[in-house]
Chains A and B, each alone.
Chain A
């Protein structure tokens, strides 16, 4: 079955880069997403990557995809205290499906 794994915690100093990792098992995944959730709030879509891409960059965010190893990462450059949140990786298997499979989320703590 489908499974998405993430490490649960990450702590970085303000100004450093953060790298949040995710592994998935469904080889038919077509889109992979990163969502951010601040305390008491809904999920904010940060970025997505299509499975035929290796990298996507959007301002401070860089997504890397290693399809062979089914490994996805989100790099946040110049991490700020406002980046403290839970980050969810999610996969979507393709047309005809409505299901997003979420990882358990990585709690990012930024130390001032």
Chain B
């Protein structure tokens, strides 16, 4: 099973709302990622969790708050977003590079299409 699932598929939220995006994988991967993708652009890395600990934060504004409750789940909490935050949010997982078991390919979920009004 190489599936990464994400919910919801679509989300429309106002600038004062609080919402959460969810991601789940059951491949035993210990690295999980959040990416943001704007139309006609490649994905941009936001956060990386390694063994449930935040490993990389690519200078993401604090209105995005990641959480990794366990090794299979990854959440992204959203609060006070701006219209320019509208994008496709992709979750991915991989073996952890610290485990030194290549090739570390990342498996992506289908994404959550977020619209901020």
Q: Tell me the A residues contacting B by CB distance below 8 Å.
A: 30-31, 33, 35, 40-45, 48, 50, 88, 92, 94-100, 102-105
Contact = CB atoms under 8 A, between A and B. Distances in A.
A102 B50 contact: no
A74 B76 CA distance: 34
Contact of B31 (A40, A48, A98, A105): A98
Given A95-B97, A102-B43, A33 B105 contact: yes
Contacts of B40: 105
A98 B108 contact: no
Contact of B100 (A43, A45, A95, A98): A95
18 contacts: A31-B102, A31-B104, A31-B105, A35-B108, A41-B110, A42-B90, A43-B43, A43-B92, A45-B105, A45-B106, A45-B108, A50-B102, A88-B42, A92-B103, A97-B97, A98-B56, A103-B42, A104-B42
B107 interface: yes
Interface magnitude class on chain B: 20 to 34
A31 B43 CA distance: 18
Nearest to B10: A40
B33 A45 contact: no
A18 to B, nearest CB: 19
